[in-house]
Protein backbone atom coordinates (compact mmCIF):
# COMPACT_ATOMS: atom_id res chain seq x y z
CA UNK A 1 0.00 0.00 0.00
CA UNK A 2 2.85 2.35 0.84
CA UNK A 3 4.45 1.66 -2.56
CA UNK A 4 1.15 2.34 -4.28
CA UNK A 5 0.77 5.62 -2.38
CA UNK A 6 4.26 6.71 -3.36
CA UNK A 7 3.49 5.84 -6.97
CA UNK A 8 0.47 8.14 -6.88
CA UNK A 9 2.82 10.97 -5.88
CA UNK A 10 5.53 10.11 -8.44
CA UNK A 11 6.06 13.57 -10.00
CA UNK A 12 6.43 14.14 -13.71
CA UNK A 13 9.16 16.61 -12.72
CA UNK A 14 11.44 13.60 -12.12
CA UNK A 15 12.14 13.58 -15.86
CA UNK A 16 14.19 16.74 -15.29
CA UNK A 17 16.78 14.34 -13.85
CA UNK A 18 16.95 12.54 -17.19
CA UNK A 19 17.37 15.89 -18.94
CA UNK A 20 20.21 16.79 -16.59
CA UNK A 21 22.03 13.47 -16.96
CA UNK A 22 21.53 13.46 -20.73
CA UNK A 23 22.88 16.99 -20.82
CA UNK A 24 25.90 15.94 -18.77
CA UNK A 25 26.55 13.10 -21.20
CA UNK A 26 26.58 15.65 -24.04
CA UNK A 27 28.98 17.79 -22.01
CA UNK A 28 31.46 14.95 -21.72
CA UNK A 29 31.01 13.92 -25.34
CA UNK A 30 31.94 17.44 -26.39
CA UNK A 31 34.76 17.51 -23.80
CA UNK A 32 36.23 14.47 -25.53
CA UNK A 33 36.59 16.64 -28.65
CA UNK A 34 37.84 19.79 -26.93
CA UNK A 35 39.92 18.43 -24.05
CA UNK A 36 40.59 14.89 -25.29
CA UNK A 37 38.94 13.35 -22.22
CA UNK A 38 37.97 9.65 -22.33
CA UNK A 39 34.92 9.12 -24.56
CA UNK A 40 33.68 6.39 -22.24
CA UNK A 41 32.60 9.02 -19.68
CA UNK A 42 29.98 10.51 -21.98
CA UNK A 43 28.88 7.07 -23.16
CA UNK A 44 28.49 5.81 -19.61
CA UNK A 45 26.46 8.84 -18.57
CA UNK A 46 24.21 8.41 -21.60
CA UNK A 47 23.63 4.75 -20.74
CA UNK A 48 22.73 5.77 -17.19
CA UNK A 49 20.34 8.48 -18.42
CA UNK A 50 18.68 6.00 -20.79
CA UNK A 51 18.27 3.44 -18.02
CA UNK A 52 16.76 5.99 -15.64
CA UNK A 53 14.43 7.21 -18.38
CA UNK A 54 13.21 3.63 -18.86
CA UNK A 55 12.55 3.21 -15.13
CA UNK A 56 10.79 6.57 -14.84
CA UNK A 57 8.72 5.99 -18.00
CA UNK A 58 7.58 2.63 -16.65
CA UNK A 59 6.73 4.11 -13.24
CA UNK A 60 4.84 7.02 -14.75
CA UNK A 61 3.01 4.69 -17.14
CA UNK A 62 1.85 2.57 -14.21
CA UNK A 63 0.84 5.73 -12.36
CA UNK A 64 -1.23 6.74 -15.39
CA UNK A 65 -3.03 3.37 -15.32
CA UNK A 66 -3.54 3.11 -11.55
CA UNK A 67 -3.90 6.78 -10.59
CA UNK A 68 -5.31 8.64 -13.61
CA UNK A 69 -6.74 11.34 -11.35
CA UNK A 70 -3.24 12.16 -10.11
CA UNK A 71 -2.01 12.48 -13.70
CA UNK A 72 -4.96 14.70 -14.62
CA UNK A 73 -4.19 16.85 -11.59
CA UNK A 74 -0.68 17.44 -12.95
CA UNK A 75 -2.10 18.32 -16.36
CA UNK A 76 -4.35 20.89 -14.69
CA UNK A 77 -1.60 22.32 -12.47
CA UNK A 78 -0.15 25.67 -13.67
CA UNK A 79 3.43 24.63 -12.79
CA UNK A 80 3.50 20.83 -13.09
CA UNK A 81 1.91 20.96 -16.54
CA UNK A 82 5.10 22.54 -17.89
CA UNK A 83 7.19 19.55 -16.78
CA UNK A 84 5.18 17.00 -18.78
CA UNK A 85 7.19 17.75 -21.98
CA UNK A 86 10.36 16.90 -20.04
CA UNK A 87 9.45 13.35 -21.13
CA UNK A 88 9.68 14.16 -24.84
CA UNK A 89 12.74 16.37 -24.33
CA UNK A 90 14.45 13.45 -22.59
CA UNK A 91 13.90 11.36 -25.73
CA UNK A 92 15.25 14.16 -27.94
CA UNK A 93 18.38 14.44 -25.77
CA UNK A 94 18.93 10.68 -25.60
CA UNK A 95 18.62 10.49 -29.38
CA UNK A 96 21.05 13.40 -29.69
CA UNK A 97 23.54 11.65 -27.43
CA UNK A 98 23.39 8.44 -29.51
CA UNK A 99 23.74 10.25 -32.84
CA UNK A 100 27.38 9.28 -33.41
CA UNK A 101 27.48 5.83 -31.82
CA UNK A 102 24.10 4.40 -32.84
CA UNK A 103 22.79 6.66 -35.63
CA UNK A 104 19.86 4.50 -36.79
CA UNK A 105 18.51 3.94 -33.27
CA UNK A 106 19.28 7.55 -32.37
CA UNK A 107 17.24 8.94 -35.25
CA UNK A 108 14.26 6.78 -34.31
CA UNK A 109 14.36 7.92 -30.68
CA UNK A 110 14.90 11.54 -31.76
CA UNK A 111 11.96 11.36 -34.18
CA UNK A 112 9.63 9.92 -31.55
CA UNK A 113 10.75 12.62 -29.12
CA UNK A 114 10.35 15.45 -31.65
CA UNK A 115 6.86 14.36 -32.74
CA UNK A 116 5.77 13.83 -29.13
CA UNK A 117 7.13 17.23 -28.18
CA UNK A 118 5.28 18.97 -31.01
CA UNK A 119 2.03 17.32 -29.90
CA UNK A 120 2.64 18.33 -26.30
CA UNK A 121 3.47 21.88 -27.38
CA UNK A 122 0.19 22.13 -29.26
CA UNK A 123 -1.71 20.65 -26.31
CA UNK A 124 -0.16 22.94 -23.69
CA UNK A 125 -0.22 26.17 -25.71
CA UNK A 126 -3.88 25.46 -26.44
CA UNK A 127 -4.47 25.13 -22.69
CA UNK A 128 -2.64 28.39 -22.06
CA UNK A 129 -4.90 30.14 -24.55
CA UNK A 130 -8.17 28.66 -23.27
CA UNK A 131 -7.34 28.57 -19.57
CA UNK A 132 -9.71 29.33 -16.73
CA UNK A 133 -7.40 29.61 -13.75
CA UNK A 134 -3.89 30.72 -14.81
CA UNK A 135 -2.66 33.97 -13.29
CA UNK A 136 0.51 36.04 -13.66
CA UNK A 137 1.96 34.64 -10.43
CA UNK A 138 1.74 31.12 -11.89
CA UNK A 139 4.28 31.77 -14.61
CA UNK A 140 7.90 30.88 -13.94
CA UNK A 141 10.83 29.82 -16.14
CA UNK A 142 9.57 26.22 -16.20
CA UNK A 143 7.00 27.48 -18.70
CA UNK A 144 9.88 27.53 -21.21
CA UNK A 145 9.96 23.73 -21.26
CA UNK A 146 6.91 23.04 -23.47
CA UNK A 147 7.25 25.56 -26.30
CA UNK A 148 10.86 26.71 -26.08
CA UNK A 149 12.00 23.08 -25.76
CA UNK A 150 11.49 22.85 -29.52
CA UNK A 151 14.77 24.73 -29.88
CA UNK A 152 16.65 21.52 -28.96
CA UNK A 153 15.51 19.60 -32.02
CA UNK A 154 18.05 21.00 -34.55
CA UNK A 155 21.08 20.00 -32.44
CA UNK A 156 20.83 16.48 -33.85
CA UNK A 157 18.20 17.10 -36.52
CA UNK A 158 20.58 18.74 -38.98
CA UNK A 159 22.94 15.76 -38.74
CA UNK A 160 20.02 13.42 -39.42
CA UNK A 161 19.31 15.35 -42.61
CA UNK A 162 16.09 16.86 -41.22
CA UNK A 163 16.98 20.47 -42.03
CA UNK A 164 13.49 21.75 -42.87
CA UNK A 165 12.00 20.10 -39.78
CA UNK A 166 14.82 21.52 -37.68
CA UNK A 167 14.08 25.05 -38.91
CA UNK A 168 10.40 24.49 -38.10
CA UNK A 169 11.10 23.49 -34.50
CA UNK A 170 13.79 26.15 -34.06
CA UNK A 171 11.39 28.87 -35.23
CA UNK A 172 8.77 27.79 -32.69
CA UNK A 173 11.33 27.78 -29.91
CA UNK A 174 12.82 31.20 -30.69
CA UNK A 175 9.47 33.00 -30.94
CA UNK A 176 8.12 31.52 -27.72
CA UNK A 177 11.45 32.19 -25.99
CA UNK A 178 11.13 35.90 -26.69
CA UNK A 179 7.44 36.03 -25.76
CA UNK A 180 7.75 34.06 -22.52
CA UNK A 181 11.01 35.77 -21.53
CA UNK A 182 9.21 39.13 -21.62
CA UNK A 183 6.32 37.85 -19.51
CA UNK A 184 8.60 36.16 -16.98
CA UNK A 185 10.72 39.27 -16.45
CA UNK A 186 7.54 41.29 -16.04
CA UNK A 187 6.38 38.79 -13.43
CA UNK A 188 9.63 38.77 -11.41
CA UNK A 189 10.15 42.53 -11.67
CA UNK A 190 6.67 43.72 -10.73
CA UNK A 191 4.99 40.91 -8.79
CA UNK A 192 5.72 38.76 -5.75
CA UNK A 193 9.09 36.95 -5.79
CA UNK A 194 9.21 33.32 -6.83
CA UNK A 195 8.67 30.96 -3.88
CA UNK A 196 11.76 29.13 -2.66
CA UNK A 197 10.69 25.83 -4.22
CA UNK A 198 10.62 27.47 -7.66
CA UNK A 199 13.67 29.71 -7.30
CA UNK A 200 15.97 27.12 -8.95
CA UNK A 201 13.84 27.35 -12.11
CA UNK A 202 15.54 30.70 -12.77
CA UNK A 203 18.38 28.62 -14.20
CA UNK A 204 16.04 27.55 -16.99
CA UNK A 205 16.46 31.10 -18.34
CA UNK A 206 19.93 30.04 -19.51
CA UNK A 207 18.81 27.01 -21.52
CA UNK A 208 17.00 28.63 -24.50
CA UNK A 209 19.82 30.92 -25.68
CA UNK A 210 22.50 28.32 -24.89
CA UNK A 211 20.74 25.41 -26.61
CA UNK A 212 19.52 27.79 -29.31
CA UNK A 213 23.11 28.77 -30.05
CA UNK A 214 24.15 25.12 -30.44
CA UNK A 215 21.26 24.31 -32.75
CA UNK A 216 21.49 27.53 -34.73
CA UNK A 217 25.18 27.05 -35.53
CA UNK A 218 24.17 23.68 -36.98
CA UNK A 219 21.46 25.30 -39.09
CA UNK A 220 23.55 28.32 -40.16
CA UNK A 221 26.70 26.29 -40.71
CA UNK A 222 28.83 28.47 -38.48
CA UNK A 223 29.08 31.61 -36.40
CA UNK A 224 27.17 34.75 -37.37
CA UNK A 225 25.77 37.79 -35.57
CA UNK A 226 22.62 36.06 -34.31
CA UNK A 227 24.65 33.13 -32.99
CA UNK A 228 26.89 35.54 -31.09
CA UNK A 229 23.85 37.28 -29.59
CA UNK A 230 22.49 33.97 -28.31
CA UNK A 231 25.71 32.73 -26.70
CA UNK A 232 26.44 36.10 -25.11
CA UNK A 233 22.91 36.40 -23.68
CA UNK A 234 23.32 32.90 -22.27
CA UNK A 235 26.66 33.91 -20.74
CA UNK A 236 25.16 37.06 -19.22
CA UNK A 237 22.28 35.12 -17.66
CA UNK A 238 24.75 32.58 -16.26
CA UNK A 239 26.76 35.37 -14.63
CA UNK A 240 23.54 36.98 -13.32
CA UNK A 241 22.63 33.72 -11.60
CA UNK A 242 26.18 33.13 -10.38
CA UNK A 243 26.18 36.34 -8.35
CA UNK A 244 23.06 35.04 -6.56
CA UNK A 245 24.98 31.99 -5.32
CA UNK A 246 24.27 32.60 -1.62
CA UNK A 247 20.54 32.90 -2.27
CA UNK A 248 20.48 29.46 -3.89
CA UNK A 249 22.66 27.62 -1.37
CA UNK A 250 20.50 28.91 1.49
CA UNK A 251 17.49 26.96 0.19
CA UNK A 252 16.52 23.55 1.58
CA UNK A 253 16.76 20.77 -1.01
CA UNK A 254 13.81 20.27 -3.35
CA UNK A 255 13.51 17.99 -6.38
CA UNK A 256 13.10 21.24 -8.33
CA UNK A 257 16.85 21.76 -7.78
CA UNK A 258 17.31 19.57 -10.87
CA UNK A 259 16.39 22.73 -12.77
CA UNK A 260 20.06 23.65 -12.28
CA UNK A 261 21.28 20.66 -14.27
CA UNK A 262 20.29 20.87 -17.92
CA UNK A 263 20.71 24.66 -18.28
CA UNK A 264 24.25 24.39 -16.91
CA UNK A 265 24.95 21.50 -19.28
CA UNK A 266 23.57 23.46 -22.23
CA UNK A 267 25.71 26.49 -21.33
CA UNK A 268 28.79 24.27 -21.00
CA UNK A 269 28.30 22.65 -24.40
CA UNK A 270 27.56 26.06 -25.93
CA UNK A 271 30.81 27.47 -24.58
CA UNK A 272 32.80 24.54 -25.97
CA UNK A 273 31.14 24.96 -29.36
CA UNK A 274 31.92 28.70 -29.14
CA UNK A 275 35.55 27.85 -28.46
CA UNK A 276 35.69 25.49 -31.43
CA UNK A 277 34.35 28.27 -33.65
CA UNK A 278 36.53 31.10 -32.31
CA UNK A 279 39.65 29.38 -30.89
CA UNK A 280 40.05 32.14 -28.30
CA UNK A 281 41.91 31.34 -25.06
CA UNK A 282 39.23 32.69 -22.72
CA UNK A 283 36.57 30.41 -24.19
CA UNK A 284 38.82 27.40 -23.53
CA UNK A 285 39.30 28.40 -19.90
CA UNK A 286 35.59 29.15 -19.50
CA UNK A 287 34.73 25.77 -21.03
CA UNK A 288 36.97 23.92 -18.61
CA UNK A 289 35.52 25.77 -15.65
CA UNK A 290 31.96 25.07 -16.77
CA UNK A 291 32.67 21.37 -17.31
CA UNK A 292 33.92 21.14 -13.73
CA UNK A 293 31.06 23.19 -12.24
CA UNK A 294 28.35 21.34 -14.16
CA UNK A 295 29.74 17.94 -13.25
CA UNK A 296 30.04 18.84 -9.56
CA UNK A 297 26.55 20.35 -9.40
CA UNK A 298 24.91 17.30 -11.01
CA UNK A 299 26.91 14.94 -8.80
CA UNK A 300 25.71 16.91 -5.77
CA UNK A 301 22.13 16.77 -7.04
CA UNK A 302 22.37 12.99 -7.41
CA UNK A 303 23.69 12.59 -3.86
CA UNK A 304 21.10 14.99 -2.40
CA UNK A 305 18.30 13.16 -4.23
CA UNK A 306 19.52 9.79 -2.94
CA UNK A 307 19.60 11.16 0.62
CA UNK A 308 16.09 12.58 0.26
CA UNK A 309 14.85 9.22 -1.05
CA UNK A 310 16.38 7.34 1.90
CA UNK A 311 14.77 9.83 4.28
CA UNK A 312 11.35 9.17 2.73
CA UNK A 313 11.04 12.70 1.36
CA UNK A 314 10.49 11.64 -2.25
CA UNK A 315 7.12 10.79 -3.82
CA UNK A 316 5.11 12.12 -0.89
CA UNK A 317 2.22 14.64 -0.76
CA UNK A 318 3.38 18.25 -0.99
CA UNK A 319 3.40 20.13 2.26
pLDDT score at 111 = 97
Per-residue confidence in pLDDT tens, the chain, 319 aa: 455 677 788 888 899 999 999 999 999 999 999 999 999 999 999 999 999 999 999 999 999 998 889 888 888 888 888 999 999 999 999 999 999 999 999 999 999 999 999 999 999 999 888 877 778 888 889 889 998 889 999 999 999 999 999 999 999 999 999 999 999 999 989 988 888 888 889 999 999 999 999 999 999 999 999 999 999 999 999 999 999 988 888 888 888 889 899 999 999 999 999 999 999 999 999 999 999 999 999 999 999 999 988 877 776 666 5
Alpha helices in the chain (DSSP H): 2-8, 15-34, 39-66, 68-76, 86-97, 103-129, 144-148, 154-157, 163-190, 207-220, 225-242, 245-249, 261-278, 281-310
pLDDT score at 31 = 97
Q: Closest Cα partner for 46 from 123, 102, 120? A: 102
Cα three-residue angle 15-21-25, rounded to 5 degrees: 145
| Alpha-carbon dihedral angle through residues 70, 76, 77, 83, given to the nearest 10 degrees | 80
Tell me the CATH architecture of domain 2-310.
Alpha/alpha barrel (1.50)
Neighbours of 178 (CB within 10 A): 11
Q: Which DSSP string corresponds to 30-72?
A: HHHHHT---HHHHHHHHHHHHHHHHHHHHHHHHHHHH-HHHHH
Q: Rounded CA gap, 311 and 204, in Å?
A: 28
pLDDT score at 172 = 96
pLDDT score at 6 = 76
pLDDT score at 1 = 43
CA quadruple 245, 251, 255, 256: dihedral sign: negative
Using only C-alpha atoms, the chain has a radius of gyration, in whole angstroms, of 19
pLDDT score at 202 = 92
What are the extents of the domains in the chain? Answer: 2-310
Amino acid sequence: MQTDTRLAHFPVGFFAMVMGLSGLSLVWQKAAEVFDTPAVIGQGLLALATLIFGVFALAYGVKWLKHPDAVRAELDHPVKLSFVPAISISLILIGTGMAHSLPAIAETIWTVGAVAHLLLTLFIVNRWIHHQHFEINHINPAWFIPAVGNILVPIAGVGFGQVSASWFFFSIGVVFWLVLLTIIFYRVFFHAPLPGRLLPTLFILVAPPAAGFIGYTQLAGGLDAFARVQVNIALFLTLLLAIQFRRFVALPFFISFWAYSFPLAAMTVAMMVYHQLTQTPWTLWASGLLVAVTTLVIAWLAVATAKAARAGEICVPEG
